[in-house]
Amino acid sequence: MSAFFLRRIVGAFGVLAGVAVVVFVVLHLTGDPATVMMPLESTQAEIAAFRHAQGFDRPLWVQFASFAWNGLHGDFGLSLRHGEPALGLALERVPASAELALSALALAVLLAVPAGVLAAVKRGSSLDLAARVLALLGQSTPVYWLGIMLILIFGVQLGWFPVSGIGGWRHLVLPAITLGAFTTARLMRLTRGSMLDVLHSDYLRTARAKGVGALRLVWHHALRNAWLPIVTAIGIELGTLLSQAIITETIFAWPGIGRLAYQAVLDRDYPVVEAVVILGAASFVLINLAVDLTYAALDPRIRYE
Amino acid sequence: MIAAAELPVPGADAPSRRAFVRLLATPATLGGGLIVALVALCAVFAPWLAPHDPNAQNLALAAKPPAWLGGDGAYLLGTDHLGRDVLSRIVWGARVATIVGVSVVLIGCTLGVTLGMIAGYAGGWLDDVIARVADVQLAFPFILLAIAVVGVLGPSLWTVILTLGVTSWVQYVRIVRAETLSLRDRDFVQAAVAGGASRARILRRHILPNITSAITVLATFEVARTIILESALSYLGLGVPSTVPTWGTMLADGRQYLDTAWWMGTFPGLAVALTVLGINLFGDGLRDALDPRSR
Amino acid sequence: MFERPLSRLAASAFLTAALTLGAATAAVADSTVTISQGVDPVTMDPLKRTITPTQNVSLNMFDTLLRHDREGRLVPWLATSWKQVAPTVWEFHLRRGVRFWNGDPLTSADVKFSVEKIKDPAEGSEQAPRVNTIARVETPDPYTVRYVTFKPTATIPGYPWVVSIVDAKYWRAHGNDYQAEHPMGSGPYVFRSWRKDDELDLDANRGWWHGKPPIDHAIFRPIPEAASRVAALRTGETDLITNVPPQYEAQLRGGRTTKIESARSVRVLFVAFNTLAPGPQRNPLVRRAFNYAVDVPALIATVLGGHAFRTATPVPPNFTGFSSKIPFYQHDLDKAKALLARAGYPNGKGLELVLNAPVGRYNRDKELAEAIAGQLSATGAKVTTRTMEWTSYVNETSRRALAPLYMLGWGDNSYDADNTLTSLFESSARLSTYANPAYDKLVDAARYETDPGKRQALYDRALTILHDDAPWIFLFQYEDLYGTSQRLHWRARADEGLAVDEMSLAN
């Protein structure tokens, strides 16, 4: 068990290191930040001065070493755009993104799991088909499209909800639905599939033969065995949600980290991009680690790979 | 991410030919297949099926509603903001969707399945490395990668395909790895090992055929996902240059006209939704037919 | 205290008066205006960046030496008068009694500090190009400032209508980084709080030297997506939105609570020919042909809903140096084809060109590029578009790698032809893809020519060369569309500035 644990930890660090290298290389591949940051009418001399002030004229390996060393201390430098510490800028926005992502996830789970269970139990019925079609629509509608439609219908026409910004719970509704639609659809299909597996298993057939009532059968016996892959998927979906949030945050003017990241990438604001990517990768790695370890703790077979 | 629960059990006895066809021929699956066939038809025969040249601009006829809603009779689904025929662009868009979908799946599938099989079969440090590389890929923001590729290669259809392909392979790795793992210790595989077969041979002749059903289902879902991602890229300004009509670009352009010229974005949106629906219904049906437990 | 009956009476009288007055003041609610631009300001430091949304906040918190009125005329602001006292010396006299929000008096030392801060290469300020003609700043007394320039200049150096004047004492006490979130200005609105990407709150400066501004509070709330911005205006969540795409105009004009304001922008859009790269665009016949092929009025009418003004020159009409004598290339497809035939491309045969354009940088940039490519293709040539997002585009622009045609916008708020005509066309200029020694001589001479008549003559000749040689397909000057709520009284400015002190709310 401890060997497994150790391998996973080492692997996690490996991933972070890998991400750091990739983000550094990719950023420098995408062009010269000095040219992008300075206004069009700047002279070569002014651009060179900016480049020197930011240290972009040092040899690449020196820049990487400095980035890695400082990064380990949590220092990603000052944002080229804002002039403030990059990591601070990223961390400031995490609460807003977390609020949105968790709301979307909660919505998804509350809708998807019961729907998936029902669809599995009533397999082949029109209810099942309806649920599957709705789920497929949820998976095939682009996020920005859904967002704008919701704004137009529920915000402008009906006036039920505010259309932008962060505020009370009413500001959360439309963005959460937009962000959560895709996840709801996925989770519903997953729950349905998982439940189908369990419902046809020997274990359940035995229980049914023993005369256990239908409702208890479903909720108590079936779901208890089906929940593990569902929970795993939820953990992984969290990671996807955070990256999908970029478009939702833009549409709804939500002050989250997705919007910061997108703007920073467009600006070639190296320090902020690096900070956000590393932060995101660290969360992703931590979540996966937690999920892996939980899985291993609950299912002994996995430990002995 | 697809979980193992959505896929057929690997290596189980394949259903008989007749049973397979019978299971496949459910209304839902047939409907899905019909839609996919229609899209493929549009893709192949676009030049003959499209009523107008998709790039022919006519500024005087910009943003006209569909013919049946009071617009010009020649434009069945209306025109876009530059006077181009929406219907023709949708038909031609099927071509791009198919090319992108198929290419991305081919790239992703080949890479993902190969690496997944190696990871699952070899185990040990190789497995760890591949899994970690996949993690690096997953942890890396898609947009940054897209901008990098566009910045280096310039915007084009192939840039989009490359970007999507590179991010697609990770979707296969986990599943293929898990499936390979469970197959590795089975009798027929162990027999081959004992018989002295090389690892490559075992992977090719014993493992691969038994996971094809899982891969096929995965691939169909991936096509759908690819179409959606292409649309997201277009929204962010990183997509295909617009002389090539794609559903994604049409959707992205149309979003600013949702309340003034809704047909510009809604019909391509319907095209995407229907295609994804068709692919997934067909994929579901395929899975059910290949899964012995549903018999 | 209240032993004597008279003082008791006085006390109760005073109390009654105070309560009545208090009630009366409370009955008049504080007025607030909410403004939504596409992006949040990036910093509260006014000396670093040039990007408009950030500047729009700075101009409310800080004062400048001069200001433009709506018609573009320079009016005294912090400087009550100015004069060129020597060929290289410009002198400004400062208004007395101006104070920063913390009470510090505004003097010439603050002006000197602000300009030098921008000029300092270690600061990496984007505004450096604006003050690069100034060699040094002299402060003979606390209310006189002298800009000494390197060479004699015809125009006022240092963009004194955009350079914000900061509190030198405060800056030195707290350091550079502090300014990003804690500004200290003398302007009409005082900084209260800033939740990034969410909300920036400003309060009216009751002690402002120009008088207390009409609106009590200003809130800047950024909304990136255009459709969402329009929606927020319609629901009343915001009072003023910028960059309204033309197709929303009818809706907002006809809305119960909304209206449209517009102003001629200083921004000019064009398609340039990269004449430094090999290809057919080096042939002036081809360039003129393309100018005849593009139907600019149709473009403006359909793609921009009529919200642009055709220009025959790179310089917009209200700029010094503009010449109204330059003719338009009237749309004439036959003429275009004839010219192409003369150039060796009958019916456009053999001409295959790419038009590069950015996406989402300028209003309808992608759509315009597509439309233009379509119009050019009507000559028989094969013209396709190549679009990419802005920062990748800028990279290629700087390397002059965009060829043979590329679209660009130029928004210059100097109100003078020099910057535009040199930065874009002079052979040595970083961005120029045109090289003509005769032209260079003209604009160079014009730059240092102090006699206005002679200067204009030089520009007339330079602009004629540009018209005949056609290094551009000349397009138009944008009209900026703003959406406002009906209760907001405000007229838009050409330099895209949003000065809240120029706004008022109806009741």
Question: Is residue C223 less than 8 Å (CB to CB) from chain A?
Answer: yes
Q: Return the higher-pLDDT residue of A25 and A301.
A: A25
Classify strands C74-76 and C472-485 as parallel, antiparallel or unpaired: unpaired
Cβ-based neighbours of A44, under 8 Å, separated by 6 or more:
C430
Question: Is residue B28 less than 8 Å (CB to CB) from chain A?
Answer: yes
Kindly list the partner chains of chain B, i.e. chains with 3 or more CB atom pairs below 8 Å.
A, C
> The domain B13-294 belongs to what CATH superfamily?
MetI-like (1.10.3720.10)
A265 → closest Cβ in B135, B147, B284: B147
8 A C-beta contact, residue A38 and residue C130: no
CB within 8 Å: B273 and A133? no
Q: How far is residue C466's CA from residue C325's CA, in Å, rounded to a whole number?
A: 13
Taking one residue from B and the other from C, the number of pairs with CB-CB distance under 8 angstroms is 77
8 A C-beta contact, residue A117 and residue C210: no
Residue of A nearest to C43 (CA): A82
Best probe of the B interface among A4, A7, A15, by most B CBs < 10 A, is A15
Best probe of the C interface among A40, A247, A257, A260, by most C CBs < 10 A, is A40
ipTM over 0.85: no
Q: Would you state the pLDDT for residue A305?
A: 44
Half-sphere exposure at residue A242, Cβ-oriented, CA atoms within 13 angstroms: 27
The dihedral formed by the CA atoms of C396, C400, C401 and C406, expressed in degrees to the nearest 10:
80
Q: Would you state the pLDDT for residue C1?
A: 43
Burial of A281 (0-12, 13-18, 19+ CB in 10 A): buried
Q: Would you state the pLDDT for residue B3?
A: 52
8 A C-beta contact, residue C476 and residue C308: yes
Q: Would you state the pLDDT for residue B192?
A: 81
CB within 8 Å: B136 and A18? yes
CB within 8 Å: C374 and B82? yes
Within 256-295 of B, beta carbons closer than 8 Å to C belong to 256-261
Question: Is residue B276 less than 8 Å (CB to CB) from chain A?
Answer: yes
* Encoded amino acid at C456, one letter: Q
Neighbours of B199 (CB within 10 A): 13
Question: Is residue C401 less than 8 Å (CB to CB) from chain A?
Answer: no
Within 192-251 of B, beta carbons closer than 8 Å to C belong to 236-238, 241-243
Classify strands C66-68 and C352-359 as parallel, antiparallel or unpaired: unpaired
Give me the tens of pLDDT residue by residue for chain C, a chain 507 residues long. Answer: 444 555 555 555 555 545 545 444 444 578 999 999 988 888 899 998 887 888 899 999 999 999 988 777 889 999 999 999 998 999 999 999 999 999 999 999 999 999 999 998 878 788 888 898 899 999 999 999 999 999 888 788 888 988 999 999 999 999 988 998 999 999 999 999 999 889 999 999 999 999 999 999 999 999 998 899 999 999 999 999 998 988 899 899 988 999 999 988 888 999 999 999 999 999 999 999 999 999 999 999 988 989 999 999 999 888 888 999 999 999 999 999 999 999 999 888 889 999 999 887 888 888 899 999 999 999 999 998 888 878 778 878 877 888 899 999 988 878 889 889 988 998 888 888 999 999 999 998 988 888 889 999 999 999 999 999 999 999 999 999 999 999 999 998 877 889 999 999 986
Give the residue from C292, C299, C298 showing the smallest Cα distance to C328.
C292
Report which listed range, A147-151, A223-227, B142-146, is most confident. A147-151
Q: Would you state the pLDDT for residue B201?
A: 80
Question: Is residue C45 less than 8 Å (CB to CB) from chain A?
Answer: yes
Rounded alpha-carbon distances, angstroms, from residue C288 to A268, B79, C305, C467, C469:
38, 31, 26, 9, 8
B3 → closest Cβ in A190, A262, A280: A190
Q: Would you state the pLDDT for residue C2?
A: 41
CB within 8 Å: A250 and C225? yes
Best probe of the A interface among B29, B132, B276, by most A CBs < 10 A, is B132
Give the residue from C54, C174, C196 showing the smallest Cα distance to C126.
C54
Question: Is residue A250 less than 8 Å (CB to CB) from chain C?
Answer: yes
Domain ranges of chain B: 13-294
Q: How far is residue C187's CA from residue C176's CA, in Å, rounded to a whole number?
A: 20
Q: What is the mean pLDDT of chain A?
A: 80
Residues of A in contact with C222 (CB under 8 A): 253
User: Which pair of structure tokens corresponds to residue B173?
Assistant: 């790795």
Distance of CA C207 to the CA centre of its chain: 28
pLDDT tens digit sequence for B108-124: 999 999 898 888 888 78
State the SS3 of C76-101.
ECCEEEEEEEECCEEEEEECCCCECC
pLDDT tens digit sequence for B193-226: 888 878 788 778 777 877 877 787 778 778 877 8
Stretches in chain B below the pLDDT threshold 70: 1-19, 23, 242, 291-295
Give the residue from B60, B256, B29, B155 showing the smallest Cα distance to C371.
B60
Q: Would you state the pLDDT for residue A41?
A: 65
Q: How far is residue A58's CA from residue C158's CA, in Å, rounded to a whole number?
A: 33
Rounded alpha-carbon distances, angstroms, from residue C149 to B91, C412, C444:
63, 21, 16
DSSP β-bridge partners for residue C269: C409, C476
Residues of A in contact with C392 (CB under 8 A): 30-31
C388 → closest Cβ in B57, B63, B155: B155
8 A C-beta contact, residue B291 and residue B8: yes
8 A C-beta contact, residue A188 and residue A178: no
Residue of C nearest to B151 (CA): C392
Cβ-based neighbours of B221, under 8 Å, separated by 6 or more:
B2, B279, B280, B283
B150 → closest Cβ in C226, C384, C392: C392
Residues of B in contact with C234 (CB under 8 A): none
Minimal C-alpha gap between A79 and chain B (Å): 17
Question: Is residue B47 less than 8 Å (CB to CB) from chain C?
Answer: no
Residue C218's φ and ψ, nearest 5 degrees, are: -125, 135
| Residue-wise DSSP of C106-154 | P-HHHHHHHHHHHH-GGGT-TTGGGGTTEEEEEEEETTEEEEEESS--S
Q: How far is residue C374's CA from residue C465's CA, in Å, rounded to a whole number?
A: 28
Q: Would you state the pLDDT for residue A270?
A: 84
Residues of A in contact with C177 (CB under 8 A): 78, 83-84
Minimal C-alpha gap between B261 and chain C (Å): 9
CB within 8 Å: B82 and C371? yes
8 A C-beta contact, residue A163 and residue C237: yes
B237 → closest Cβ in C226, C298, C360: C360
B265 → closest Cβ in A137, A145, A243: A145
Please give the helix or strand (H or E) that residue B244 lies within, else none: none
Give the residue from A222, C375, A208 showing the smallest Cα distance to B57.
C375
Rounded alpha-carbon distances, angstroms, from residue C12 to C1, C15, C17, C26, C170:
13, 5, 8, 21, 45
Q: How far is residue A194's CA from residue B7's CA, in Å, rounded to a whole number?
A: 10
A5 pLDDT more than 60 = yes
Cβ-based neighbours of B177, under 8 Å, separated by 6 or more:
B116, B117, B119, B120, B127, B130, B131
Best probe of the C interface among B143, B157, B256, by most C CBs < 10 A, is B256
Question: Is residue B41 less than 8 Å (CB to CB) from chain A?
Answer: no
Within 214-253 of B, beta carbons closer than 8 Å to A belong to 224, 227-228, 231-232, 235-236, 248, 251-252
8 A C-beta contact, residue C185 and residue C101: yes
Within 413-432 of C, beta carbons closer than 8 Å to A belong to 419, 423, 430-431
Residue of A nearest to C222 (CA): A253
Residue of A nearest to B276 (CA): A140
pLDDT band at A194 (very low <50, low <70, confident <90, very high): confident
Q: How many residues in chain A?
A: 305
Residues of A in contact with C257 (CB under 8 A): none
CB within 8 Å: B28 and A129? yes
Cβ-based neighbours of C62, under 8 Å, separated by 6 or more:
C46, C164, C165, C166, C183, C185, C186, C187
Neighbours of A283 (CB within 10 A): 16
Q: Would you state the pLDDT for residue C10?
A: 53
Q: Would you state the pLDDT for residue C6?
A: 52
CB within 8 Å: C391 and A266? yes
Question: Is residue B31 less than 8 Å (CB to CB) from chain A?
Answer: no
CB within 8 Å: B3 and A193? yes
Give the residue from C394, C331, C384, C330 showing the smallest Cα distance to C362.
C394
Give the residue from C404, C385, C383, C386 showing the smallest Cα distance to C277.
C404
CB within 8 Å: C121 and A81? no
CB within 8 Å: A233 and B28? no
Using the structure block, give the residue that is written with the tokens 């099989």. B117
Q: Look up the pTM and report it.
A: 0.83
User: Which pair of structure tokens corresponds to residue C314?
Assistant: 């790179």
Instruction: Determine the average pLDDT of the residues in A250-275.
Output: 87
Question: Is residue B144 less than 8 Å (CB to CB) from chain A?
Answer: yes
CB within 8 Å: B63 and C299? no
Question: Is residue A156 less than 8 Å (CB to CB) from chain C?
Answer: yes
